[in-house]
Amino acid sequence: MGRRGTRHSTLLPGAARVAKALKKGGYLPHPGPIDPKGGKGGSLRIKISSDPSRTRIRVAGGGVQELFLYGEVEINAVWSLLSDSFGSQVMEAIADTRH
């Protein structure tokens, strides 16, 4: 049986910082699964991918957690918001698969 991440309504510290920035920008992030692999700390890293009905933001650093934005979201606006908030060095990848 495969291992799955644990679902929580709470946020890891890095994901909480990203969620706060998203809320400030007018978005409503929903917490996703937590994968505790990743150790105790590490630098913040953010990856963004987009599906037709949601945008997934994967936050790593002291564990990995996904945040979801549901509905129509301009992925480049989210990228700009997070890049301005945390610096471009934490932004790892962007993938738009809404076609």
Compute, in degrees rounded to 10, the torsion defined by CA atoms 75, 22, 35, 44: 90
Return the ∠ at Cα 73 (arms to 37 and 70), rounded to 5°: 60
Give the closest residue to 4 by CA, choosing from 32, 25, 29, 44.
32
Specify the residue for token string 């997934």: 56
- At residue 12, does pLDDT exceed 60? yes
Residue 97's pLDDT is: 78
| Domain ranges, ordered by start, for the chain | 26-96
**How much is the pLDDT for 4?**
58
pTM of the predicted structure, to 2 decimals: 0.85
Residue 68: which residues within 8 A CB-CB, separation 6 or more?
29, 30, 31, 32, 54, 55, 56, 57
Q: What is the pLDDT of residue 35?
A: 80
Q: What is the mean pLDDT of residues 76-94?
A: 93
Q: List, for residues 21-71, the tens digit of each pLDDT value.
A: 999 999 999 998 888 765 566 789 999 999 888 999 999 988 889 999 999
